[in-house]
Amino acid sequence: MLKAMRKNVKSLAPTLWLVIAAFIITIFAVWGGAGHLGEARATRTIATVKKEKISADYYYQNLMQRLEMMKNEFQEINRNLIQQLNIPQQVLEQMIQQTILLQKAREMGIDVTPEELREKITSYPVFQKDGKFIGYENYKRILEWNRISVSRFEESIKQDIVIEKVVKVITAGITITPEELWETYKNKNESAKMEYAIAETDKIELEAEPSSSEAQEHFENNKEKYTIPERREAAVVFFRTEDLKNEIELTEAEIESYYKENESQFEDPERTNVRRIFLPYEDKDKELVRAEGRNILERIRMGEDFSKLAKLYSKDRKAQDGGDWGLFEWRSLSSQEQEEVERLAEGEYSDTIETEEGISILKVTEKKPPRMKPLDEVRARIQSILQDQKARELAEKRISGIEKDATKEKNLEAAAQTAGREIMNTGLLKEKEPFKDIDPSGTISTTLFQLKEKEISSPIYTYRGVGMAQLQKIEPPRPAKYEEVADDVKIELTAIMKKERAAEKMRKVKEELKSQSLEELAEKYGLEYKTSNEHKREQYLSIIGENATIDRLAFSLPLEEPSDPVEFEGGYVLIKVLGRKEVTQEDLEKDKETEKEDLLEAKRNKFFLSYLAKLRQEYGVKIKYDLFLKISSEILSGFEGEE
């Protein structure tokens, strides 16, 4: 599940065109309010770009919308997964990037005309029918259905156009040379057929582990490699949110009030999933295509699987997915097909439908109207949210009392004792090193490196709760003693010995290749044997990853001649090139314009992201990480235990 989620969430990462489209991404998302925000959050600032403030309220709404969209798409997300995918950080970073670009646009004097706004809105497929704008009333109705005001939506579209313009201005000077185009074309289209054997260091067995004397000798010969970085030690008092939940008592009135004030969080939107089999006319006899459609329809009526028939006979871009047009993409089909979808009930399929381009057969695999989840169904989730909110409020109240006393006494331990709290000692920590299970992200240790000796921090927020620290000791970086790094030395020496053994095996393989095949020798020496029919430059190679040396050899080594062993991070590999597919300048001429545009877009993208990073520094972006963690944790508490 995590692997699939990571694959899909890649599309959510901040890239050039996502930044442009970010303002309208919520057209079909749940456009709920921010819920029970409270006055403090509505007025507090979570980040600043130059002098422009990004409010905590705005961040709250954006993160809620992103998570609701993910829930609708994946349906299996929980707090741990959201944190692993860094969704809160992605959302805030995207908001910062948008703010930077809008500020840059103002500096450049870039604006939007009424004509540009009108053209942008009327061009969206969702606002079109049969290639024409659906009219103002229908446009307004769609926005109302999605709980978006016309003014708010149009302001977002204006910002979208402005950002698109500023990106074009920033990247306008980017060009490519004929040499760049040729090299890129070769990298993309040339390939090598090869076989290779891999000796992985981790799989090499040694006759004996390195002895202590060998490890100590290795240490003495490489002392400069082993250093202890600066470390800091502090006294910490901490309130875990989870522990304080035991003190929280919720009333039925509080639960009901939250439910009523945050209805949008608990609504399941309309869900209609459609599959299609499409038979295009192309240059065929239309009557033959109609007959083929009737034959497929009869097979469906006889009980054959719709998705299997779609894979066999359908001729559209969704054929290999079993004709699955998903929950929304089917809305781009012809008006006849959309009307048929509206008519069909869940599980029903259509007769053959004749369109201008061909014959289609539709099946509605899922059809659920919008539904407000009853209170009993979401009660546990609301209780978790409220408990987390109240526990954090309680933690803040108690840490505030300790902060007041600690500041007065200049002693955190004394203030903690007065409050009846236990003081923990961090021991010596490196910067960003986690501290127990209360701070796996290293927020506390990072804070220690911002303090002077004996200085007391302000409250430190982590996903697990809130605490304070008083710096007690600073240990400067120094050369390591053998006893301090003995385990690391043995691990490194073992890896070196295994790698030497792997290299030795590969040299034997090359020597014996004259009399035996690479596959036979790989089996003899316990190596992994693999083949690649179309290896391209900069392409990921199984186990090895990307490797410039292998890329060079793949396109320069004489055919059937083995390479010398090539070292990579995990061991050694020996390759043998069996054949090559090469391209010529004449091949490039056939696709020159398309290739040129693709390369230009990639180069613009790379330049833009670099330029954006410089603007970020120039504009002095500041983030209040304590507030960021507090709000993020509050929202994520609503996903506690969801599977």
CATH of residue 568's domain is 3.10.50
Supply the angle between the helices 375-409 and 252-261 in degrees, to the nearest 10.
100
| Amino acid 252: pLDDT | 95
Does one domain contain both 71 and 132? Answer: yes
Read off the pLDDT of each residue in 475-503 and give the average, rounded to a whole number.
94
CB 300 within 8 A of CB 317: no
Lowest mean pLDDT segment, chosen from 260-274, 294-308, 334-348, 476-490? 260-274
Supply the angle between the helices 56-74 and 87-108 in degrees, to the nearest 10.
120
| Amino acid 79: pLDDT | 80
| Amino acid 164: pLDDT | 92
Sign of CA dihedral 514, 519, 524, 528: positive
DSSP structural state of residue 451: S
Does one domain contain both 491 and 467? Answer: no
| Amino acid 642: pLDDT | 47
Does one domain contain both 387 and 365? Answer: no
Does one domain contain both 390 and 516? Answer: no
The per-residue pLDDT of the chain, averaged, comes to 87
Does one domain contain both 40 and 75? Answer: yes
Q: 218 lies in a domain?
A: no
SS3 617: helix
| Amino acid 405: pLDDT | 94
Does one domain contain both 529 and 421? Answer: no
**Per-residue pLDDT band at 508 (split at 50, 70, 90):** very high
Domain termination residue (choose one: 336, 369, 402):
369
Distance of CA 81 to the CA centre of its chain: 11
Q: What token pair was written down for 49?
A: 């770009």
Q: Is residue 643 scored above 50 in pLDDT?
A: no
Greater confidence (30 vs 417) lies with 417
| Amino acid 43: pLDDT | 53
| Amino acid 31: pLDDT | 31
Q: What token pair was written down for 314?
A: 């359908």
Read off the pLDDT of each residue in 19-45 and give the average, rounded to a whole number.
41
Q: Is residue 75 scored above 70 in pLDDT?
A: no
Rounded to whole angstroms, how far apart are CA atoms 132 and 466?
56
CB 420 within 8 A of CB 402: no
Q: 113 lies in a domain?
A: yes
CB 19 within 8 A of CB 168: no
Rounded to whole angstroms, how far apart are CA atoms 192 and 575?
11
Q: pLDDT tens-digit profile of 176-189?
A: 999 999 999 998 89
Rounded to whole angstroms, how far apart are CA atoms 142 and 150?
10
| Amino acid 61: pLDDT | 83
Greater confidence (276 vs 355) lies with 276
- Please enumerate in sequence order all residues whose Cβ is within 8 A of that of 260, keeping only pairs 6 or more positions apart, or say none: none
**Most confident among 146-150, 334-338, 494-498 (mean pLDDT):** 494-498
Q: 554 lies in a domain?
A: yes
Q: Is residue 4 scored above 50 in pLDDT?
A: no
Q: Which of 101, 92, 90 is nearest to 160 (CA)?
A: 101
Provide the phi-psi class of 526: left if phi over 0, else alpha when psi is between -120 and 50, else beta.
left
CATH of residue 61's domain is 1.10.4030.10
Read off the pLDDT of each residue in 398-418 and give the average, rounded to a whole number.
94
Please give the share of the chain, as a percent, with pLDDT higher than 70: 92
Q: Is residue 145 scored above 80 in pLDDT?
A: no
Range of the domain at 460: 231-261+375-476
How far, in Å, are 109, 482, 485, 580 from residue 218 at the CA level? 64, 10, 12, 45
| Amino acid 234: pLDDT | 97
Question: What is the pTM for the complete model shown?
Answer: 0.61
CA 204-207-208 angle, 5° bins: 110
Does one domain contain both 460 and 499? Answer: no
Q: 607 lies in a domain?
A: no
**Most confident among 24-28, 633-637, 639-643 (mean pLDDT):** 633-637
Does one domain contain both 45 and 165? Answer: yes
Count of structural domains within the chain: 4
Q: Which of 555, 553, 529 is nearest to 542 (CA)?
A: 529
Q: Is residue 239 scored above 70 in pLDDT?
A: yes
DSSP structural state of residue 369: -
Rounded to whole angstroms, how far apart are CA atoms 395 and 397?
5
Domain termination residue (choose one: 453, 476, 499):
476
Greater confidence (16 vs 46) lies with 46
Q: Is residue 136 scored above 90 in pLDDT?
A: no
Does one domain contain both 150 and 37? Answer: yes
CB 446 within 8 A of CB 431: yes
Q: 498 lies in a domain?
A: yes
Does one domain contain both 162 and 34? Answer: yes
Lowest mean pLDDT segment, chosen from 230-234, 266-270, 638-642? 638-642
Q: pLDDT tens-digit profile of 211-237?
A: 999 999 999 999 999 999 999 999 999
Q: pLDDT tens-digit profile of 535-583?
A: 998 888 888 989 999 999 999 999 999 999 999 999 999 999 999 999 9
Q: Residue 347: CA atoms inside 13 Å, Cβ hemisphere, count? A: 1
Q: 185 lies in a domain?
A: no
How far, in Å, are 382, 388, 433, 442 from residue 437 at the CA level? 26, 18, 12, 10
| Amino acid 640: pLDDT | 63
- Please enumerate in sequence order all residues whose Cβ is within 8 A of that of 618, keeping only pairs 6 or more positions apart, or say none: none
Q: Is residue 116 scored above 50 in pLDDT?
A: yes
Read off the pLDDT of each residue in 590-609 and give the average, rounded to a whole number.
90
Does one domain contain both 38 and 161? Answer: yes
Q: What token pair was written down for 101?
A: 């670009």
Rounded to whole angstroms, how far apart are CA atoms 383 and 376?
11
Q: Is residue 26 scored above 50 in pLDDT?
A: no
Residue 51: how many CB atoms within 10 A of its CB? Answer: 8
Does one domain contain both 11 and 154? Answer: yes
Domain termination residue (choose one: 457, 476, 495):
476
- Please enumerate in sequence order all residues whose Cβ is within 8 A of that of 640, keeping only pairs 6 or more positions apart, or say none: 78, 79, 384, 388
